């Protein structure tokens, strides 16, 4: 026996999976019906099995955390009929069960036919064929009418389910936008843009009749893409920036770089070890310097008036990172929480924060001799891609932020910010992964993370 499972709601809404005798549904990789592991969170790793046994289809809960429901009723095991709705978790995704229609035929061999009845039997066959064709025609017309009505009804039900989910996500987005203050105010713009796109697609969904299957499938994809973007912005809005800043703020410093021609530029660096070992972007040190190294280098830590001399310990050949050391400091300096060297913790959509000195920091003076405090700025965002040599995040930045640490929710450094990407530099930022910083530390005289 064969059946189709049509996904009505959830991250995979609109997909159809064909079952032949048995299938397991859940969020674990490799399952016959795999739900989105990042969005369909009500679904367990191996949630339920749908099996054809003893001449009937059944659904069996596999000890799921949130339960399995058939037509709204929680079950351990239940028979399935055409168009039954199976929900994975009380608020999880729902699928519609559609068994394929079919029958089993059998025949028998007839004995010899007497010549006297051949003509009558032929006439009977002709009448039977004619009657069958007429009945088939009537059935086809009736089925087409019924099928069209049923399809419209199915689409209307699915559309109402999708609209309900969209409205719920939009309401959560409104709540998130109201909480955005301080360093996260810039995120409100991106959040509002994502909401506007979801509302635009929602309007198309509300007007759709579902008759054009190609347009309907495209509409589902647009809606999923828009809602994924909105989900990312809401994740970023939920990040506790204040806690991350408390861990990191005193470890970041503005870097004063004097080039060969006397020009002074600024960037950002952050302390990795308490003996003054710091990481920054290579181009912060080499911009405008014909010799590859700055004429003079100094750093000023956040919330401090003191400017300290520094030296370059090493620059990576292939990556835009460098290691410097602050001199003349008695005692230790504050450091970041550590380097996150585990790329398996960095998925697309993971919220991040960064702290540094874009445009020289807040109300930054042009001359460090003024003795004003160094006040860093920062923002939150989300990871949009992770590659071996770069991490791209959606966030806000500006010149001078190069060398800033990009941080995970625990304050661990996942990358060093080196610039922007694409036509909108304020929205897509690029970082060199922390693993490259760790590798350069080991190359520079065998320096490790421990002083």
> In the prediction, which pLDDT does 108 show?
32
> In the prediction, which pLDDT does 107 show?
32
> In the prediction, which pLDDT does 217 show?
67
Average pLDDT, the chain: 76
Q: Is pLDDT above 60 for 195?
A: yes
DSSP state string for 291-343: TSS-SEEEEEETT----EEEEEEEE-SSSS-EEEEE-S--S-----S-B---G
- Let me know: does 443 contact 432? Beta carbons within 8 Å: no
> In the prediction, which pLDDT does 169 show?
57
Rounded Cα distance between 137 and 249, Å, is 78
In this predicted model, which residue has the larger pLDDT, 208 or 97? 97
Q: What is the mean pLDDT of residues 129-156?
A: 51
Rounded Cα distance between 434 and 342, Å, is 9
> In the prediction, which pLDDT does 212 show?
55
> In the prediction, which pLDDT does 185 show?
45
> Is residue 336 very low, low, confident or very high in pLDDT (cuts 50, 70, 90)?
very high
> In the prediction, which pLDDT does 122 show?
44
Q: Which CATH class is domain 1-100?
A: mainly beta
In this predicted model, which residue has the larger pLDDT, 44 or 400? 44
Q: What is the mean pLDDT of residues 59-78?
A: 93
HSE-up of residue 449 (Cα within 13 Å, Cβ side): 13
> In the prediction, which pLDDT does 126 show?
46
Which range is least confidently modeled, 71-85, 184-198, 427-441?
184-198
Q: Is pLDDT above 60 for 347?
A: yes
Which range is least confidently modeled, 136-140, 313-317, 329-333?
136-140
Highest mean pLDDT among 21-25, 131-135, 303-307: 21-25
Phi-psi domain of 360 (left: phi exceeds 0; alpha: psi -120 through 50; beta: other): left
* pTM, full prediction: 0.53
Q: What is the percent of the chain with per-residue pLDDT over 70, rounded to a whole number?
A: 62
In this predicted model, which residue has the larger pLDDT, 68 or 360? 68
Reference 439, options 281, 314, 344; nearest CA is 314
Q: Is pLDDT above 60 for 103?
A: no
> In the prediction, which pLDDT does 403 show?
93
Q: What is the pLDDT of residues 215-257, one digit of tens each?
A: 666 666 666 666 666 665 566 666 778 889 889 999 999 998 9
In this predicted model, which residue has the larger pLDDT, 239 or 212? 239
In this predicted model, which residue has the larger pLDDT, 212 or 391? 391
Q: Is pLDDT above 50 for 143?
A: no
Beta bridge pairs of residue 433: 415
- Let me know: does 338 contact 438? Beta carbons within 8 Å: no
> In the prediction, which pLDDT does 253 show?
93
Q: Is pLDDT above 80 for 278?
A: yes
> In the prediction, which pLDDT does 52 show?
92
Beta bridge pairs of residue 4: 18, 98
Residue position matching structure tokens 């347009």: 215
Q: Is pLDDT above 50 for 190?
A: yes
> In the prediction, which pLDDT does 291 show?
58
Beta-carbon contacts of residue 113 (< 8 Å; ≥ 6 apart)? 121
> In the prediction, which pLDDT does 363 show?
40
CB atoms within 10 A of CB 331: 6
CATH classification for the domain delimited by 243-443, as one of 2.40.10.120, 3.40.190.10, 3.40.605.10, 2.60.130.10: 2.40.10.120
> Is residue 41 very low, low, confident or very high in pLDDT (cuts 50, 70, 90)?
confident
Report residue 355 as tokens.
């702290």
Beta bridge pairs of residue 428: 394
The CA-CA-CA angle for residues 152, 156, 162, to 5°, reads: 140
Residue position matching structure tokens 């006297």: 116
Reference 368, options 249, 287, 284, 258; nearest CA is 258
């Amino acid at each position: 026996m064969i059946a189709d499972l049509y996904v009505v709601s959830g991250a995979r809404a609109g997909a159809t999976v064909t079952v032949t005798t048995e299938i397991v549904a859940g969020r674990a990789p490799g399952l016959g019906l795999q739900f989105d592991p990042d969005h369909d969170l009500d679904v367990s790793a191996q949630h339920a099995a749908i099996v054809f046994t003893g001449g009937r289809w059944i659904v069996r809960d596999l000890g799921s955390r949130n339960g399995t429901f058939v037509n709204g009723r929680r079950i351990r095991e239940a028979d399935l009929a055409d168009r039954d709705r199976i929900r994975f978790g009380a608020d999880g995704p729902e699928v519609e069960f559609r068994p394929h229609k079919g029958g089993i035929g059998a025949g028998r061999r007839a004995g010899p036919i007497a010549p006297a009845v051949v003509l009558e039997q032929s006439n009977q066959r002709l009448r039977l064929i004619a009657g069958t064709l007429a009945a088939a025609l009537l059935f086809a017309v009736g089925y087409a009418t019924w099928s069209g009505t049923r399809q419209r009804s199915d689409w209307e039900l699915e559309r109402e389910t999708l609209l309900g989910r969209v409205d719920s996500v939009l309401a959560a987005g409104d709540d998130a936008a109201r909480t955005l203050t301080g360093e996260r105010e810039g995120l409100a713009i991106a959040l509002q843009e994502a909401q506007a796109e979801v509302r635009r697609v929602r309007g198309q969904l509300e007007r759709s009749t579902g008759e054009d299957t190609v347009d309907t499938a495209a509409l589902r994809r647009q809606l999923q893409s828009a809602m994924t973007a909105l989900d990312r912005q809401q994740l970023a809005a939920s990040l506790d920036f204040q806690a991350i800043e408390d861990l990191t703020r005193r470890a970041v410093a503005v870097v004063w770089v004097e080039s060969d021609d006397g020009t002074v530029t600024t960037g950002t660096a952050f302390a990795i070890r308490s003996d003054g070992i710091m990481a920054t972007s290579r181009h912060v040190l080499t911009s405008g310097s014909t010799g590859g190294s700055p004429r003079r280098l100094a750093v000023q830590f956040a919330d401090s008036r003191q400017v300290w001399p520094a030296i370059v310990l090493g620059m990576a050949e292939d990556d835009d990172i460098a290691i410097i050391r602050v001199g003349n400091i008695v005692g230790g300096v504050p450091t970041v929480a550590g380097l996150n060297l585990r790329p398996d913790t960095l998925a697309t959509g993971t919220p991040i924060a960064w702290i540094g000195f874009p445009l020289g920091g807040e109300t930054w003076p042009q001359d460090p001799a003024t003795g004003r405090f160094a006040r860093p700025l920062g923002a939150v965002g989300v990871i949009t891609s992770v590659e071996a040599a770069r991490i791209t995040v959606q966030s806000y930045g500006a010149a001078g932020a190069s060398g800033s640490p990009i941080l995970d929710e625990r304050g661990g450094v996942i990358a060093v910010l080196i610039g922007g990407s694409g036509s909108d530099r304020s929205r897509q930022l690029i970082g060199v992964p922390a693993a490259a910083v760790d590798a350069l530390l080991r190359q520079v005289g065998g320096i490790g993370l421990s002083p």
